[in-house]
Amino acid sequence: MNTFLPFSKPTIDESTIAAVGDVLRSGWITSGPKVAEFEKQLSAYFGGRPVRTFNSGTCTMEIALRIAGIGAGDEVITTSISWVATANVILEVGATPVFADIDPVTRNIDLDKVEAAITPKTRAIIPVYLAGKPVDMDRLYAIAAKHKLRVIEDAAQAMGSSWNGKPIGSFGDFVSFSFQANKNITTSEGGCLVMNNEEEAKLAEKFRLQGVTRSGWDGIEVDVLGGKYNMTDIAAAIGLGQFAKLAEITAHRRKLAQHYFATFGADFEAQTGAQLPPQDFENTNWHLFQLVLPDSITRAEFMEKMKAHDIGIGYHYAPIHLFKLYRALGFKEGMFPVSEHVGRQIVSLPMFYAMNEADVERSVAAVKEVLLPR
Ligand SMILES: *Cc1c(COP(=O)(O)O)cnc(C)c1O
């Protein structure tokens, strides 16, 4: 009997659990010294750039848009193959989402399509690094510079990823990360935003807590409309324990990904019509290991058959532009054909830190059972 292999699972070590217990006993359980320490360590990792933590990797992007002054009348270009948060934040600030289709190989936003979508109203680009694989960062920032656009990187999945040896987040404009439970490192829920200067960081602090600025013993002022987005010390204690293992986690995921390719073998795509991800062991942190299924099987059928083999399958993502909320804005089928095809057939195979090579072999054996004619 096999035990069920989920597609993702967090690993929290005993010392992290003990650190959370210490916070709970300390008498200070909201934002405090642990948050300050987590931000300090993150900032060091991101080459000294200012970093602030939040209670999600969604509000980080909304706050970046607000700091950039983006709102009604402005267009923001993004991808349809992401968690819906990526486009929702554009609507949240009153701006207009503009989708650009994806590249069929990387499944990330196609930068040629981004350039084609730029209008005089375009103010920003929100690229997503699906599965932790960055886009061509040199090209992205060349486009942004040429058209004077802000970039809010949705690097929710890209903690530990890099570009030419530099960590994602250590360069660029706004870079947003998520520490949601399934991400490579977690705080249970949470996120952080890397910014360009202290002025932006001060504004981020205001947006994160009701727009409040304090001074002296009892001075309080409110000059912008903020929300309630602060991270707790309970979450930050989890984050500190996880962050200490980032390099180890990333290395292990790369090893698992390599084992996936080796176990699938060179003929797998030709034999099944399924499409493997690009083999990138330099830049991507392998947040996900995703297959695009052949059209001969529906995703639901594949998921059901994998479940019968005790293998959990994730779905990342349904095309955002085809959700009712977005259809009501005028988006419809046929507008972004690559996104629509990938969105119909993409699946995420098990990939998490506590997995071993035997788990990869089990996962691949089940995929082959389901996809190969017998
Ligand atoms: C997880 C994720 C988000 C949202 O992060 P939360 O912390 O859940 O708010 C946004 N975009 C992408 C691509 C994600 O994977």
Q: Does the CB atom of residue 343 touch ligand 1 within 6 A?
A: no
- pLDDT tens for 298-314 read 999 999 999 999 999 99
Whose alpha carbon is nearest atom 2 of ligand 1? 156
How close is the Cα of 43 to the center of ligand 1, in Å? 20
As annotated, the residues of the chain forming the CATH 3.90.1150.10 domain(s) are 246-371
Q: Per residue of the chain (374 residues), what is the pLDDT tens digit? A: 579 999 999 999 999 999 999 999 999 999 999 999 999 999 999 999 999 999 999 999 999 999 999 999 999 999 999 999 999 999 999 999 999 999 999 999 999 999 999 999 999 999 999 999 999 999 999 999 999 999 999 999 999 999 999 999 999 999 999 999 999 999 999 999 999 999 999 999 999 999 999 999 999 999 999 999 999 999 999 999 999 999 999 999 999 999 999 999 999 999 999 999 999 999 999 999 999 999 999 999 999 999 999 999 999 999 999 999 999 999 999 999 999 999 999 999 999 999 999 999 999 999 999 999 76
pLDDT at residue 227 in the model: 97
Asked if 49 and 204 count as a contact pair (C-beta separation under 8 A), the reply is: no
In the chain, the percentage of residues whose pLDDT exceeds 90 is 99
Counting Cα atoms < 13 Å in the Cβ hemisphere of 305 gives 15
Fold assignment, 14-243: Aspartate Aminotransferase; domain 2 (3.40.640)
Does the predicted model carry a pTM greater than 0.85? yes
Amino acid of residue 6: P
As annotated, the residues of the chain forming the CATH 3.40.640.10 domain(s) are 14-243
How close is the Cα of 318 to the center of ligand 1, in Å? 14
Instruction: Tell which one of 82, 86, 128, 178 to mutate to probe ligand 1, the residue whose CB is within 8 A of the most ligand atoms.
Output: 178
Q: Does the CB atom of residue 191 touch ligand 1 within 6 A?
A: yes
How close is the Cα of 125 to the center of ligand 1, in Å? 16
Q: Does the CB atom of residue 157 touch ligand 1 within 6 A?
A: yes
Element (H, E) at 249: helix 246-264
List residues bridging with 213 in a β-sheet. Answer: 221
pLDDT at residue 338 in the model: 98
- As a whole number, the mean pLDDT across the chain is 97
Asked if 69 and 113 count as a contact pair (C-beta separation under 8 A), the reply is: no
**Helix/strand/coil for 185:** coil
Asked if 155 and 126 count as a contact pair (C-beta separation under 8 A), the reply is: no
**Helix/strand/coil for 109:** strand
Instruction: Kindly tell me the sign of the dihedral angle through the C-alpha atoms of 155, 156, 158, 160.
Output: positive
Q: Does the CB atom of residue 230 touch ligand 1 within 6 A?
A: no
Catalytic residue ranges: 183
Quote the CA–CA distance of 30 and 292 in Å, as a whole number.
42
Q: Does the CB atom of residue 82 touch ligand 1 within 6 A?
A: yes
How close is the Cα of 322 to the center of ligand 1, in Å? 19
The 10 Å Cβ neighbour count of residue 335 is: 15
How close is the Cα of 85 to the center of ligand 1, in Å? 6
Instruction: Tell which one of 58, 78, 102, 159 to mutate to probe ligand 1, the residue whose CB is within 8 A of the most ligand atoms.
Output: 58
pLDDT at residue 149 in the model: 98
Tokens of 135: 């886009």
How close is the Cα of 58 to the center of ligand 1, in Å? 6
Tokens of 253: 């995921």
**CATH pick for 246-371 out of 3.40.50.11540, 1.10.10.10, 3.40.50.2300, 3.90.1150.10:** 3.90.1150.10
Q: Does the CB atom of residue 284 touch ligand 1 within 6 A?
A: no
Atom of ligand 1 nearest to the CA of 59: 9
Quote the CA–CA distance of 24 and 22 in Å, as a whole number.
5
